Structure 1
Amino acid sequence: MAENGKGEEAKASSPSPVFGSASTFGAGTGFGGFKGVSTATSSRQAEKPEDDTPPEEGSGETEEECQAEFRPIVQLEEVERVSGEEGEETLADFKSKLYRFDNDSGEWKERGIGQVRLLKSNDTGKIRLLMRQEKTLKIRANHFVMPGTKLQEHSGSEKAWVYSTVDFADEEQKPELFCFRFSSIERAQEFKKHFEDAMAHNDKALAADEEQGESPGDESTEAAKEKHAVEKSEADELAGKVGEVKVSEEDDKSSQA
């Protein structure tokens, strides 16, 4: 009985194979029966790097270049844009908000926001003022900087200049009372300086034209001068009303933005 008890204890202490008996997979271990790629062979293959060498020329493995041509559906021709300013030199450039005085209603009307520039003609040497509306580039002010023009501060603001002139923005000459408002007092003073320099320059240019004599059909004929003088006097009468009107607070805030 004792021997049987020891024999049972010995059998209990030796666990049975997890994957079956040794005779099923081969002698020794439970994995001995697996045959195929040896461990040494698989390790050598794992260590062997892949061949990244590009294919040699003429091997037939090179990628072919795409020879396809893609043409646009719509062919657009280049169009030359003519602004009328090609023969002029820009002497000064300021961003400003422009108002014009409406004589019928007795109020200032906003005319536009954009760049106001002083342009000198390469042919005549005279200077004009041109302002275009931003984005649309529509002309809002276009006139010769006439000598003797009086710049007046708008009542209650040092950033705005008021003056009368004969304007050609609507492709016809007519007297206008303009108010240019700038972003700061410094910009307003800089505009005044350039404007007064342009008046002095044009005064000399007109005097030189008179010395050389008047040519037929030129704007400097006596009839043209008389017409300009009448229109200028009407504009000066409008300028006398500058103290009677004010730019609205809403327009004033939007111009400072």
Structure 2
Amino acid sequence: MADKVPEPATNPAANPFAALGGANNQAPAFGGGFSFGVPVAAFGAAPAAKEAEDEGEGDEEGGAAEEECQAEFKPLVQLEEVETSTGEEEEDCLFECKTKLYRFDGDSGEWKERGIGQAKLLQHKENKKVRMLMRQEKTLKIRANHLVMPGTSLQPHAGSDKAWVWSAVDFSEGEQKVELFCLRFGSVEKAQDFSKKFEEAMTINAGLLGTVESVSATNAESEKAADELASGVEKVAVAE
């Protein structure tokens, strides 16, 4: 006959932990002591206070940077404004136009470009003499500077009705030098206007530059030197 298995004891007293919470208490579930929304001090709470302190210091530094500098600085050297004289202040402009100037080089037998700029016929307010002046644009360097001598031969360049050729005793380099110039204009109208004003300038200077004999002698010397330079000029074309 099989042995009878004893039934487990149901006596509450057999549970040694039952008396700790009372008869009606149950064991708390996992996380029962935790509730959302309740601030909990995190690990490293002390540095958080330091971070707030650092932010306060940053605000103070930013406010200091926005302060305007009240210091005054004075230049070591006081520069005075100086007016530059070009010599044109005492002259009236009879003609002005943007052109391209060439000079005939006798050594190479070619036309060399002198520059692009304003060509002017200027009459002095006191002595009434008229000169031809041409400055390089931007740099304002003088490229042609001579009196318009009576009897100067102003001739159109071969193959162009917008360019004039003439010889003159030029002073643009600081000393007298016989040059053969070619002045090219943007239109036929401007070229014709220059020719007309040039003729008028020769007429004005004819009554101001001494006797006809002295003027003729000067022109003869200039023309002779120009003829030597321009012995082959008819074969040379002015570049556009």
Q: Normalising to structure 1: TM-score of the pair? A: 0.60
Q: Does the CA contact (< 8 Å) of 1:164 and 1:239 recur in 2?
A: no
Q: Does the CA contact (< 8 Å) of 2:152 and 2:219 recur in 1?
A: no
Q: 2: CA distance between counterparts of 1:243 and 1:197?
A: 27
Q: What CA deviation, in whole Å up to 9, does each residue of 1:156-208 have, x standing for no partner?
A: 111110111111110111111100001111111111111111011111223xx
Q: Does the CA contact (< 8 Å) of 1:153 and 1:160 recur in 2?
A: yes
Q: Deviation of residue 107 (structure 1)?
A: 0.4
Change over 3 Å in CA distance of 1:228–1:154 after alignment to 2 = closer
Change over 3 Å in CA distance of 1:76–1:239 after alignment to 2 = same
Q: Percent identity?
A: 57
Q: 2: CA distance between counterparts of 1:184 and 1:242?
A: 23
Q: 1: CA distance between counterparts of 2:130 and 2:71?
A: 52
Task: Give the corresponding residue for 1:245.
Answer: 236
Task: Give the corresponding residue for 1:91.
Answer: 94
Change over 3 Å in CA distance of 1:89–1:167 after alignment to 2 = same
Q: Does the CA contact (< 8 Å) of 1:166 and 1:228 recur in 2?
A: no
Secondary structure of the 1:205 match is coil
Which residue of 221, 224, 232 maps to 1:233?
A: 224
Q: Deviation of residue 236 (structure 1)?
A: 3.5
Task: Give the corresponding residue for 1:199.
Answer: 202
Does residue 149 (structure 1) correspond to residue 152 (structure 2)? The answer is yes
Does residue 123 (structure 1) correspond to residue 126 (structure 2)? The answer is yes
Change over 3 Å in CA distance of 1:185–1:81 after alignment to 2 = same
Change over 3 Å in CA distance of 1:196–1:240 after alignment to 2 = farther
Which has more radius of gyration? 2
Q: Deviation of residue 237 (structure 1)?
A: 3.6
The aligned amino acid for 2:106 is N
Q: Deviation of residue 85 (structure 1)?
A: 1.9
Does residue 171 (structure 1) correspond to residue 174 (structure 2)? The answer is yes
Q: 2: CA distance between counterparts of 1:69 and 1:186?
A: 62
Report the number of matched residues.
171
Q: For 1:13-28, what aligned pairs fall within 5 Å after superposition? A: none
Change over 3 Å in CA distance of 1:72–1:166 after alignment to 2 = same
Structure 2 unaligned blocks of 5 or more: 1-67
Q: 2: CA distance between counterparts of 1:225 and 1:154?
A: 24
The aligned amino acid for 1:76 is L
RMSD: 2.6
Secondary structure of the 2:119 match is strand
Q: Deviation of residue 117 (structure 1)?
A: 0.5
Q: 2: CA distance between counterparts of 1:124 and 1:229?
A: 25
Secondary structure of the 2:234 match is helix
The aligned amino acid for 1:85 is E
